[in-house]
Structure 1
């Protein structure tokens, strides 16, 4: 009976082949499947014919307004693809808000920011559901570069439209528009007052005014969110993790044999600049684990068996609970009266659990110096009533790092306008710690538009995925930084969301650090958990590699040959210079032609 059935099936199949002109190789393949049992046959046929199905293409984009980690509106983009003639939801991506959260702002300013944010998200939702939905339909989500190029052209078109509208409005008004930077106006007024009073000679060097903040186009969130959603869809269709997909994009589809994990900068303390305490210089105190340990490994406390340890534990039990406030960065808020106090607090806390700063753990400080400048006095207010000139700030940092050698990174120690002082602090401390530019940087759109944009000398810069930033922009910019041997840090903005794609971007791009905030908010802890999951996966696949140690640059030595070159011929020892250094100096103002003004993608 079974033989008759098989014979009938073969005859029917042969007749079907002849009538439909099925290729011979497919006929042979099908004939080889007939000896299988029916249950196995159907599965084999499905798998075989799926190889000839059309590649998945985008059929729909859906944008909606959602809330970020601090309850403010932001954008989510969903991608639907046509797979084997069926519409299927592939993934979604939520982009972080680019708006900074001020510690102390007037109610009028807060209301204006909220209205601007709502308008921007509403416009972004319209872009996604209308223009971008039509523009990207029938494109393959794996064609990241092509889609990002189309997104960039669309954004440029919107920018031009806005300029034309502003130009028409200006012509209608027929009134000259006088635009000036507020800080510079205040600085000039302060200089006039000092000149009239005659307290200081007119030969005193004036500080450069702050550069006006670059305006953000309303709706620009749609570009970044769509690009990120496409990257996630491409990874899902290729059945690989997002970090592997990003690594393939950066290396032109050449799969890396080994991958390193970025070291987390874990924010533990936030020193409010508007608190009643005196200290203003330190915005964040961050902890960096040693390179030799995996993220899951933690040094075990050595005090449990000692009398000293038991005594300290008893003191903790007897002491009343401290009042704790948690910042939007996910860390404890505290007020300090001097620069050493938060560092001594960290040192004591580590000693209490048997850790040694500088060996078991390291420190990084986010100075956020751009928030401290008093433009009337032309100085930084590092403590309440205590002001330091840009030159004096260099001495402050040199003394601080020499006293606390466990500090291996300073973020934004100066404004980006104080370029000479950046040079000075790099030459003084570059061989001991990283000098990182976060706010002292500009966005990727300006970098890509002008490769000659000047930036201060620094060890590396912080990249943030916000606004019109595209995945291709990060790939291109990180490659440029690698070419200049600068470290790349992926940073989390103030208005963070629960989307953990930032960690995959950091791993795929090969970032040196990832700056995620603290461990007390869900949207930030989610990213730390993702980092742990990636480490476990890479270790299981035997593709995880740990760097040997921290590598700093002696900026002073690297600038030495330029000064002595005309007088002394190049010494033969030059070949024996430390080849492992990964963070060379930008030589003052000669670097801009090679490295863009930076990368705070805001």
Structure 2
């Protein structure tokens, strides 16, 4: 069978879920296949993430425009990739990396490069008449992800007095993805009623979770337990809890000093946060904790994992930034036991897959993730199934850019039929 080749690549500036510009890429192949991909954007970012190229022109979008990235797609990357075989994902991605010539994709922009990388994968899947999850994951891709649903937002994702950035409901006891989604969606709606009855705000943060001014970080946990029970489920059996501290946001020096400024809990050291975490893990059904400490606090992260890694999944996000260089160091030093995987954090589909492979080979888990600035693009849902990681965070049961991913997963479950699997 003749392999289709790239005949056209074009980009345009669109808006993400925060109303900020991002990149959308259109690809056409010589067999007539077309595809589109849109690039997400993060708010709480690691220092070593691949660089989003922004225009810095304050006369447009407060300097956040992406016309330079669009121009790099249209004028530099498109000519370089013209005529390449679309199924050669790794070669295409490496060609773009080489053309950029920097370690962090700051020359052409990770947003320009990732838009093409995602569109290429989608076009290739369409050209060979396979669903994207099967094209990327092979014939054995049949495991649906457990939806770790963000139901309370704090930190930099909201304007409230909660330090922890994400409190997630995790339907570990559901028999299927469809039922798991129902469990946490029902809990989300019950939570709204509880907050409303307490006179608290039911407005939502960037990722769709509620952003109330609760009494404390622990009060948020207590309120979630109440919501799980009132929704008719058993905490720890039907629905567990996952946390993302995003500790960079309240770190003083990135090396072990912290200031829980939003809640007023005050200044702490790594050891204080570890002690707090140990108490919470004993008291609440927590199964996963992401970025409990800052990206520069490698010693603290290691201690956290030594204390809790046999009880919960300890996920590194900002500390690893989906980069195999940092993940390998983390594996060698026992810094965590899982890595967050964000496509735009590293900038290509191929590099994201390599990060997953490294985790899998080391016996680590990996947690597929959206970004706080998202689009309606559902690439992430297919990617999560393809990578067989078993769990995904894609926001709450509100905001269409989050729901789009969940609805795509429902479609995939329907396509897989009785062969679909679902387990933690």
| Range class of TM-score, shorter chain | 0.7 to 0.9
1:154 is matched with which residue: 78, 99, 116?
Answer: 99
Say whether 1:93 aligns with 2:37.
yes
> What displacement does 1:353 show?
2.2
TM-score by length of 1: 0.61
Deviations 1:471-490 (A, max 9, x none): 11122121111000111111
Aligned to 2:186: none
In the superposition, relative to structure 1, how do residues 56 and 273 fare at CA in structure 2: closer, same or farther (>3 Å)? closer
Q: Does the CA contact (< 8 Å) of 1:263 and 1:291 recur in 2?
A: no
**Paired residue secondary structure (2:292):** coil
State how many pairs are aligned.
402
Aligned to 1:297: 179
**Paired residue secondary structure (2:167):** strand
Deviations 1:26-68 (A, max 9, x none): xxxxxxxxxxxxxxxxxxxxxxxxx7xx543221111111111
Aligned to 1:117: 64
1:44-123 matched pairs, under 5 angstroms = 55-83=3-31, 88=32, 90-100=34-44, 114-118=61-65, 121-123=66-68
Aligned to 2:89: 144
Say whether 1:260 aligns with 2:143.
yes
CA distance, structure 2, for counterparts of residue 331 and residue 277 of structure 1: 12
> What displacement does 1:217 show?
4.0
In the superposition, relative to structure 1, how do residues 137 and 325 fare at CA in structure 2: closer, same or farther (>3 Å)? same
Q: Does the CA contact (< 8 Å) of 1:266 and 1:516 recur in 2?
A: yes
> What displacement does 1:425 show?
2.0
Aligned to 2:48: none
Q: Does the CA contact (< 8 Å) of 2:15 and 2:22 recur in 1?
A: yes
Higher-RCO chain (CA-CA 8 Å, sequence separation at least 6): 2
Aligned to 2:80: 135
Q: Does the CA contact (< 8 Å) of 1:291 and 1:546 recur in 2?
A: no
> What displacement does 1:226 show?
0.6
Q: Does the CA contact (< 8 Å) of 2:6 and 2:30 recur in 1?
A: yes
CA distance, structure 1, for counterparts of residue 327 and residue 315 of structure 2: 21
CA distance, structure 1, for counterparts of residue 312 and residue 327 of structure 2: 29
In the superposition, relative to structure 1, how do residues 494 and 124 fare at CA in structure 2: closer, same or farther (>3 Å)? same
2:317 is matched with which residue: 421, 428, 438?
Answer: 438
Aligned to 1:239: 129
CA distance, structure 1, for counterparts of residue 361 and residue 255 of structure 2: 40
> What displacement does 1:321 show?
7.6
Gaps of 5+ in 2: 46-55, 184-189
In the superposition, relative to structure 1, how do residues 341 and 325 fare at CA in structure 2: closer, same or farther (>3 Å)? same
In the superposition, relative to structure 1, how do residues 506 and 380 fare at CA in structure 2: closer, same or farther (>3 Å)? same
Say whether 1:398 aligns with 2:278.
yes
> What displacement does 1:377 show?
12
**Paired residue secondary structure (1:268):** strand
Aligned to 2:397: 519
Range moving further from structure 2, 454-463 or 292-301 = 292-301
CA distance, structure 2, for counterparts of residue 113 and residue 373 of structure 1: 32
CA distance, structure 2, for counterparts of residue 449 and residue 487 of structure 1: 15
Deviations 1:112-157 (A, max 9, x none): 9955531xx212211221222222222221222221221221121x
Aligned to 1:211: none
CA distance, structure 2, for counterparts of residue 113 and residue 215 of structure 1: 23
Say whether 1:332 aligns with 2:215.
no
> What displacement does 1:98 show?
4.2
Aligned to 1:415: 294
Q: Does the CA contact (< 8 Å) of 2:155 and 2:249 recur in 1?
A: no
Gaps of 5+ in 1: 1-50, 102-108, 161-213, 249-254, 302-311, 551-602
Range moving further from structure 2, 470-479 or 366-375 = 366-375
CA distance, structure 2, for counterparts of residue 358 and residue 333 of structure 1: 23
In the superposition, relative to structure 1, how do residues 299 and 495 fare at CA in structure 2: closer, same or farther (>3 Å)? closer
> What displacement does 1:504 show?
0.8
> What displacement does 1:324 show?
2.1
In the superposition, relative to structure 1, how do residues 278 and 503 fare at CA in structure 2: closer, same or farther (>3 Å)? closer
**Paired residue secondary structure (1:142):** coil
1:268-307 matched pairs, under 5 angstroms = 268-272=151-155, 279-280=162-163, 282-297=164-179
CA distance, structure 2, for counterparts of residue 117 and residue 215 of structure 1: 17
In the superposition, relative to structure 1, how do residues 506 and 376 fare at CA in structure 2: closer, same or farther (>3 Å)? closer
CA distance, structure 1, for counterparts of residue 339 and residue 60 of structure 2: 27
**C-alpha root-mean-square deviation of aligned residues, in Å?**
3.2
> What displacement does 1:241 show?
0.4
Q: Does the CA contact (< 8 Å) of 1:369 and 1:415 recur in 2?
A: yes
Q: Does the CA contact (< 8 Å) of 1:232 and 1:242 recur in 2?
A: yes
> What displacement does 1:81 show?
1.6
CA distance, structure 2, for counterparts of residue 508 and residue 114 of structure 1: 36
TM-score by length of 2: 0.85
Aligned to 1:225: 115
CA distance, structure 1, for counterparts of residue 254 and residue 92 of structure 2: 48
> What displacement does 1:346 show?
0.9
> What displacement does 1:344 show?
1.0
